[in-house]
Amino acid sequence: MNKEVTGFSKLSKEEKINWIADRYFSNPKESISILKQYWNSDESLQMLHDDFIENTISNFYLPFGIAPNFLINGNYYSVPMAIEESSVVAAASKSAKFWAARGGFKTTILGTEKIGQVHFLYHGKSEKLEKFFSETKPKFFSNTESLTKNMQKRGGGILDIKLKNKTAELENYYQLHATFETKDSMGANFINSCLEQFAKTLKEEALLYNNFTEDEKDITVIMSILSNFVPNCVVRAEVSCKVEDLAEKHIQNPREFAEKFIQAVKIAEIEPYRAVTHNKGIMNGIDAVVLATGNDFRAVEAGIHAYASRKGTYSSLSHAKIENDIFSFWMEIPLALGTVGGLTSLHPLVKIALEILQKPSAQELMQIVAATGLAQNFAALRSLTTTGIQDGHMKMHINNILNQFQANITERNKVKMHFENHTITHAAVVEYIEKLRN
């Protein structure tokens, strides 16, 4: 039976691997070899990766691909994507080319406001707390000047601070609800530092406030933390063209296609079971670019899915319509991204990704990411309403099956030739490989 380990973090990388090998690997020599195979041969680069997180024993690689031909607001982009799922990059590329011939993507920044909160308990009359906050509010700004000075030089800083009474939902619970502009940085560290100073000022000033009783002076700060829900840090991405201009190889009847496409979107608007998968397709594109550019895809995911539920039920992020014979497809999504700070200045591939994108500002990156998500959604809905999703997906997935069976060049060519005229399923590919080998 495995025992609890103490001091694991103090072990060297080799010692960590050996400890794991002794307890978990059925073939320690082979497994250790695989872990070390993914170490970077450049020792300084490997040390950099080791320091990104704790207890590093190896690197976990994802494919880093490019989706070209994105025409966004009149400028062409080749979009870097880090993702493991078959057909995502191909689908984004196909959509980008399709819409580049029809005017491209139009994107607009609707807001860049970010949010942080100090959560605290106050035992007393809310009117007295409101008066205290009104009198003390200037000090929240003045006491954070050392933190905001550089951000203000870049045009950012603290936008506003409000007191929110949440006692109807939780006894004695209040918030300092602050809004921020962080320009080209995602701003998590900046926001959290400001919030912690707000909390300190709140407690100190309450102790000095003569109108408070002793109980009222005893404010309990529960936590001070930014929010990843950013409903006012939003970008809109859209595409549109005449209905007749939708015609292409797989769209022989553009009017019928457009109407069916719109119905598919409407289903996702009213049916949460469909909306989750619909929005997951959008996130295929968004996450891949967010990850490639060194941003926090977990924060982006959480914020976007919360936004999809903001009206009380989970719904589609994208929308479509026909008006005056014009087909339009669009979405508005919250995206808190950065192009400076964090991994953007540390990870070599992140630097490359941002260079490929022509060193965008945070607002430009928001627009590129949103366009990629919309492109991915269009590709999925086009497949679903025409040929079906599995046709294109399985054509890309066939490489994974061939790799799984370590197929040689001759086998690969024969398998791909055979399935040009046969339905691709995992079982069918496996059966054909076995037939070739027998």
Contact status, residue 31 vs residue 22, Cβ threshold 8 Å? no
- 255 and 343 co-located in one domain: yes
pLDDT at position 392? 55
pLDDT > 90? residue 428: no
pLDDT-derived band at 389 (thresholds 50, 70, 90) equals low
Contact status, residue 336 vs residue 299, Cβ threshold 8 Å? yes
pLDDT tens for 286-298 read 999 999 999 999 9
- 192 and 341 co-located in one domain: no
Contact status, residue 216 vs residue 120, Cβ threshold 8 Å? no
- 278 and 375 co-located in one domain: yes
Residues annotated as catalytic are 85, 280, 296, 393
- 127 and 94 co-located in one domain: no
Residue 131 domain-assigned (yes or no): yes
- 176 and 222 co-located in one domain: yes
Return d(Cα 389, Cα 232) in angstroms, integer.
34
Nearest alpha-carbon partner for 154 in 354, 361, 359? 361
pLDDT-derived band at 114 (thresholds 50, 70, 90) equals very high
Residue 59 domain-assigned (yes or no): no
Phi, psi of 188 (to 5 degrees): -60, -50
- Domain of 94, CATH number, reads 3.90.770.10
Residue 38 domain boundaries = 8-50
- 121 and 106 co-located in one domain: no
- Tokens linked to 357: 């994108």
pLDDT at position 396? 63
- 267 and 358 co-located in one domain: yes
Which among 227, 247, 279 is the end of a domain? Answer: 227
- 190 and 127 co-located in one domain: yes
Residue 3 domain-assigned (yes or no): no
* Residue length of the chain: 438
pLDDT at position 423? 75
- 249 and 291 co-located in one domain: yes
Q: How many CA atoms lie within 13 A of 116 on its CB side?
A: 27
Give the β-pairing of 106-109 and 173-181.
Answer: unpaired
Residue 2 domain-assigned (yes or no): no
DSSP H helices, 122-234, are 126-142, 145-153, 188-208, 214-217
- 319 and 381 co-located in one domain: yes
Largest CA distance in the chain: 90
* Average pLDDT over every residue of 352-358: 97
How many structural domains is the chain composed of? 4
- Domain of 141, CATH number, reads 3.30.70.420
Q: Which helix (H) or strand (E) holds 71?
A: strand 64-72
Task: Quote the pTM value.
Answer: 0.88
- 127 and 163 co-located in one domain: yes
Which among 352, 368, 387 is the end of a domain? Answer: 387
Contact status, residue 408 vs residue 383, Cβ threshold 8 Å? no
Contact status, residue 118 vs residue 199, Cβ threshold 8 Å? yes
* Average pLDDT over every residue of 353-373: 98
- 163 and 214 co-located in one domain: yes
Q: Could you give the percent of the chain with pLDDT greater than 70? A: 97
pLDDT tens for 2-55 read 678 899 999 999 999 999 999 999 999 999 999 999 999 999 999 999 999 999
